[in-house]
Copies of this chain bind each other. A is one copy, B any other.
Amino acid sequence: MVRFVLMHTFTEENYLKTIYHCTLASGSATTNQIAAATNTRAASVTDMLKKLSEKKLINYAKYQGVTLTAEGEKIAIGVIRKHRLWEYFLVEKLDFKWDEVHEVAEELGHISSIELIDRLDKFMGYPKYDPHGDPIPDSNGRFKRQELKPVSGLAVNDTGVVLGVGDHSTAFLQYLEKASLTLGTKLTVIEIIDYDHSVVLQIADKKLNISREVAKNLLVAL
């Protein structure tokens, strides 16, 4: 099978992507975080960190966690671009639901051809956001991060439009689907229950109560 010069393995790309996401989510990427996210053991992660460090894709000092180098980040963003474009394709062209696409896109996102992904991008009209509201980097790796707030951060009478999720699990996405809390939904906070911090929302002419857990992972633009 084809492997191009300067190509990185499926596995290496996966680690880089994971490090990127960990850093974004929690400000840093530690061995255990990466192990949890990649479903491997800490010892395996350490091995890979050494390898990526030698390839100058991450900055690594024993026991100190890691950050991506410019080159490592470029690769990570490339993988994320592929992943999100494929998710968009699966939902918009092949009629998958938003909770069904992540696993398949995980595989598709490692197909090496850049030509392929650029043509796919063009075919779909250069979409800006994936089915979960996450921004799709352009072919130069540029994208705007949306300024989104979790519903748990809103006050009573605040209004927002659902534009993203903080949890991409099938379970959460299916819950939202069922509750009609899909992307683009406009909502207003009616009440915040003291006892359990659950939130009562007004959506069109209906009221809906969501738990704090849900509120934290439901992201809106004001």
Contact = CB atoms under 8 A, between A and B. Distances in A.
Interface of A: 1-2, 10, 14, 90, 93-96, 103-104, 106-108, 111-113, 115-116, 119-120, 123
A94 B104 CA distance: 20
B103 A107 contact: no
Copies of chain A in the complex: 2
A44 B120 CA distance: 36
B123 A94 contact: yes
B107 A119 contact: no
Contacts of A115: 104
25 contacts: A1-B10, A1-B14, A1-B106, A1-B107, A2-B103, A2-B106, A2-B107, A90-B116, A93-B123, A94-B116, A94-B119, A94-B120, A94-B123, A95-B119, A96-B119, A103-B113, A104-B111, A104-B113, A104-B115, A104-B116, A107-B111, A107-B112, A107-B113, A108-B108, A108-B111
A135 B103 CA distance: 29
Nearest to A10: B1
Q: Most B CB atoms within 10 A — which of A2, A106, A107?
A: A107
The 4 closest A-B pairs by CB, nearest first: A94-B119, A104-B113, A107-B111, A2-B103
